[in-house]
Amino acid sequence: MAESDASTTVFVERMPRHPLVWNNHSMAWISDRIAGIVENKAPLWWWVTIAITSSFAAFGVFCILYLLFTGVGVWGNNIPVGWAWDITNFVFWIGIGHAGTLISAILHLCRQKWRTSINRAAEAMTLFAVICAGIFPAIHVGRIWMVWFMAPVPNPNWIWPNFRSPLMWDVFAVSTYFTVSVLFWYLGLVPDLATMRDRAKGRVSRTIYWILSFGWRGGNRQWRHYEMAYLVLAGISTPLVLSVHSTVSFDFATSLVPGWHTTIFPPYFVAGAIFGGFAMVLTLMLPARSLYKLHDVFTWDHIDVMCKLLLVTGSIVGYAYCMEFFVAFYGANPFERFAFLNRYFGAYWWASWTMFTCNVIMPQLMWVRAFRRNWAIVFFVSMCANAGMWFERFVIFVISLHRDFLPSAWRMYYPTWVDVFTFIGTHGIFLTLFLLFIRFLPMVAMSEVKSVLPESDPHYHPPAGGGEEPVEEAHA
């Protein structure tokens, strides 16, 4: 990059870019800080937190087993509300799973170098969210032993599944998304696992990391193929990210239920998924950043950019809410009109207004720079987004179903304790997996962060005056 070379010597940029890693840290500092998290003893808070989250996870598993041994009657689902918290939770978790691959794929294609600090953790979060999501479609069939009906194989009567069904698309979309996300994540991990291997002291850990890193040597003849694979994976994951939640939305949009049968669903679901996913990344990374003192790697600039993305996607979601309402009015379909009036002024009005407040109004705080750089406000807004996105799915599924075409069939939906604890249990599973991840694998992509340091540019020449010295500073 000759132009950056010229800019440092010939003229001074009027608005110079902030460095992506603050305080001129060296490459060795990055390795020590990130790998140290894995190598040092687990702090007390880690043990306390994982004890709590794994207890919730265990109780969630108990609820799932109770459901499987008893039947779906233990849930509050009824007729007409045949899809309730189960599918709400499925779509909620799948939505959260969108941030990771968005960060690693779309931002890579856009050459957004700031992604390197957060992509590893966000991708891991994606995998764990998709695992939590996958639980619900599997168990909501009730008779779990029939779950193989979702596979593209004929049943004993030689009847094949309907490949033109959105539910079939969904099976393919979610399983492909999970598999591709695993491959993408692992490919990024290989050079860092090689770092862990070369730092490992014990023979056993060294051998394990050696196997996991495939004996990576970091030669440019290796990097050449690696970078091509990474680029192509980013290229094919970009439409994949956008397609997964589109496909999920087809489950609803292709039906005739008022409130579901709209063409705005795919873009609206995708924007909502990215919104919810970024909120969850912030929710997890703000504490992790403080606890592991990663302030110079995951800087305020990163948080600032992510808050802007929250604002953009939250506003797109807000536009979709308003446009749905307008189309219901303008479309002159009485069932559609009723569905939307009922959504905001019916029995579940509080859910809809919670959704609207959390997803549309709260992110507007992010217009203010001072708020984007205040961790308490950022955390609060991202928690609002997490809650709001769950309510969005609840609103779409339950409110649309509980008042269907025949008033004689109308019925309220109330969750049971099994519903509630299964949902809390998936949070336990999610957080437990995330805690295990930050304990055993490098949570920041070390090789990628090193590649965005100024001295990693092959045409870099250190500025005169010794600005090179790493400054150990002050975030202790």
**Residues at the interface with another protein (CB under 8 A):** 1, 26-28, 31, 152, 154, 158-160, 162-165, 168-169, 172-173, 176, 179-180, 183-184, 186-187, 191, 194-195, 197-199, 210-211, 214-229, 232-233, 236-237, 239-240, 243, 247, 250, 446-448, 450-451, 455-461
Cα separation of 178 and 94, whole Å?
10
Least spacing, CB of residue 157 vs another protein, in Å: 9
Report in angstroms the alpha-carbon separations of 185 from 123, 192, 275, 433: 6, 11, 21, 15
Cα separation of 448 and 138, whole Å?
37
Q: How many C-beta neighbours within 10 Å does residue 470 have?
A: 12
**76: amino acid identity, one letter:** G
* 251 versus 336: smaller Cβ distance to another protein: 251
* 48 versus 183: smaller Cβ distance to another protein: 183
Least spacing, CB of residue 94 vs another protein, in Å: 14
**For residue 381, which of 252, 279, 246, 464 has the smallest C-alpha distance?**
279
Least spacing, CB of residue 307 vs another protein, in Å: 28
Cα separation of 41 and 47, whole Å?
11
Contact (Cβ atoms closer than 8 angstroms) between residue 442 and residue 113? no
Alpha-carbon torsion angle 114, 115, 120, 125, nearest 10 = 120
* 40 versus 220: smaller Cβ distance to another protein: 220
* 124 versus 446: smaller Cβ distance to another protein: 446
Q: Rg of the chain over CA atoms, in angstroms?
A: 24
* 177 versus 275: smaller Cβ distance to another protein: 177
Determine phi and psi for 198, rounding to 5 degrees: -75, -20
Least spacing, CB of residue 271 vs another protein, in Å: 20
* 414 versus 440: smaller Cβ distance to another protein: 440
Alpha-helical (H) ranges within 102-217 are 107-109, 119-140, 166-199, 203-212
* 65 versus 183: smaller Cβ distance to another protein: 183
Least spacing, CB of residue 34 vs another protein, in Å: 11
Least spacing, CB of residue 385 vs another protein, in Å: 28
Least spacing, CB of residue 219 vs another protein, in Å: 4
Cα separation of 275 and 363, whole Å?
10
